[in-house]
Structure formats: C-alpha cells, structure tokens
Amino acid sequence: MAQDTLDASVKATDPTAGKSKVELRNVSKSYGDEWEQQRVIDRLNVEIKPGELTVIVGPSGCGKSTLVNLIAGFEFPDSGEILLDDKPVTGPARDRMVVFQETALIPWQTTYQNIVFGPKLRGDLRGKALQQEADRLLAKVGLSEFKHKYPLQLSGGMQRRAELARALINNPRIMIMDEPFRGLDAMSRGLMQEFFLRLFEENRRTNLFVTSEIDEAIFLADRIVVLSNRPAQVRTVIEVNLPRPRDYKMLASAEAYAIKREAMAILHEEAMKSFKAGSGADFAEAYGKDGGGGH
C-alpha cells in the first residue's frame, strides 16, 4: 500500500481522532469604541468535553455566534483564554472546522471539487489517497451520485451534507456547527438532524452545536449549555441522559419534556430581561422558539 493511501486510512480509522476538549476560562468580549462599548460575553466559563456533542442555546442576540467566532479563532477575546487540549487558540486552523448558517460551498466547483479543496490546497493529502477519502465521505453523506453536480443543482439538505463532508475530510479535532439547519424547511431540517446524529454517534467526534431550537438541542445533545441574555454568561448546564442511538420519538418522553421545561423556563426569564431592557423588537425571536425542531 502506498504511504499516502496508508496515511489516509489511518486518519479515517483513528479512534482518538476528534476526541479533543475546549475550555473557555473567564472569557469576555466587547464591540464598539472604547467610550461606547457593548459587552457581548462576560467572564464566560464553559468546557466542551471530548467525544461529546455540546449544544449552546440562548436568547436571540445573546452572543452565540460571537462565541463560535472566538472558538474558531476568527476573533479574539478581550480577556480570558480559550484552550484546545490545554493549548491557547491563537487563530483559525484546520483543527476547528465550522459549518455556518449560510452555505459556503464554492458555486463554480462541483461537489467533489468542494470537498477536496482544502487538502488539495494544502497538499497534505494527494493523489489516490485524496480521491479515496473524498469518495468514502461522499458515500458516507449519500452524495456519491451527485459528486459532479454544482451547488445550485443540489437541494438545501444536500448542500448541508456536502459541507459536512468538506469539513470532515480535514479530520478536525472539533466540529463547530453554527445553526447549520436554520434555513431548511421543516421536513429537510428533521432529516438533517437525524442524519447528523447518526454521523456523530458513529464517530463520537467532539462537537459544538449552536441552535435556537430547544427540541433540536434535546434531540442532539449530551449536554445543553443555556446562556443568559447579553452579556452572555452560563446560566446552567443541563445533562441530556437520553439513551443513544436516538430517534425523534424520544422527544415525546417524560425525560425530554422535563429538560424542555427547565430550559424554556430559563430562556423565558432571560428573554424578559431583554424585553425590559428595550429590545422588544427581538422579543418574539428570543422567546418564540418553542422547540420547533423540525420533527
């Protein structure tokens, strides 16, 4: 077996791959001029545990996307530290891959070309090894028959799956999902949740998933981190002890309902703070997400 093929095989099957942890210690972040700053995150402490799917929920505008940008290294905290496996995050890197709300597929490249773009650009996976890994992931996400199609020829759900494959081929230590299914219709969203969950339960890669939907959070999470109104702090961490593998019927269980009731009580309280502070225009969005997870 050629060395590059062997390396790809090891990367694909390494049981420790993607089992990293992330810690945020007393992280604060503000925007605006020095004399008129708005603090978005305030002394936030949270741990994303190895091999777990941690879901972040919070009122609209509380700083969830800012948190994603800080962990990804796109922005830097004003104070505090962010650690990946006990080493400071100093900027963007392939060990933290982000799937955003809006598609980031390159429109003039095929599905296959989009998936191999990163490794090909870096040159760290080449030739037959790159082709085999891309084909493996295309099969994994059910897009083998669409490898030569362009993004505009794919449905919204297919585009999401292509983006998952494009992230996974980089073998990241943590996957960061910033409301990736938000723009999909209810049926597509439900199917993507089930697809993503099967993918996670198969490889147990460390995941941070941001959502505004409580049912989605419960269905996916090992732990739900509930953030406060801006400036964001951790209000509580809810353990989701529903057994895996999961299916959507579990959302009708007494355990799931108890989790939803606890989370919604906190989110209602935080949304009311936002309303009283003068953010009435955002109140409906902040509290109105009553768990429509797409199922």
Closest CA to 267 of 107, 78, 58, 113: 58
* DSSP β-ladder status, 22-31 and 38-48: antiparallel
DSSP structure string for the chain: --HHHHHHHHHHH-TTTT---EEEEEEEEEES-GGG-EEEEEEEEEEE-TT-EEEEE-STTSSHHHHHHHHHTSS--SEEEEEETTEE--S--TTEEEE-SS----TTS-HHHHHHHHHHHHTSS-HHHHHHHHHHHHHHTT-GGGTT--GGGS-HHHHHHHHHHHHHTT--SEEEEESTTTTS-HHHHHHHHHHHHHHHHHH---EEEE-S-HHHHHHH-SEEEEE-SSSB-EEEEEE----SS--GGGGGSHHHHHHHHHHHHHHHHHHHHHHHTT-GGGHHHHHH-------
* pLDDT of the residue at 286: 47
> Six-digit token pair at 206?
């460390």
> Tens digit of pLDDT for each residue in 263-288?
999 998 988 876 666 554 444 554 55
* pLDDT of the residue at 140: 87
Q: Please indicate whether residue 10 or residue 126 has the higher confidence score (pLDDT).
A: 126
* Residue keyed to tokens 């080493």: 87
> Tens digit of pLDDT for each residue in 150-208?
999 999 889 989 999 999 898 899 999 999 998 788 888 888 899 899 889 988 999 99
Q: Please indicate whether residue 138 or residue 124 has the higher confidence score (pLDDT).
A: 138
Over residues 33-54, the mean pLDDT reads 91
Return the domain boundaries, the chain.
107-171
- Quick check: bond before 231 cis, omega within 30? yes
* Distance of alpha carbon 119 from alpha carbon 130, whole angstroms: 8
> Six-digit token pair at 150?
């362009």
Over residues 41-46, the mean pLDDT reads 96
| pTM value surpassing 0.75 | yes
> Tens digit of pLDDT for each residue in 222-257?
999 999 998 999 999 999 999 999 998 999 999 999
> Six-digit token pair at 262?
């606890």
> Six-digit token pair at 239?
């353990």
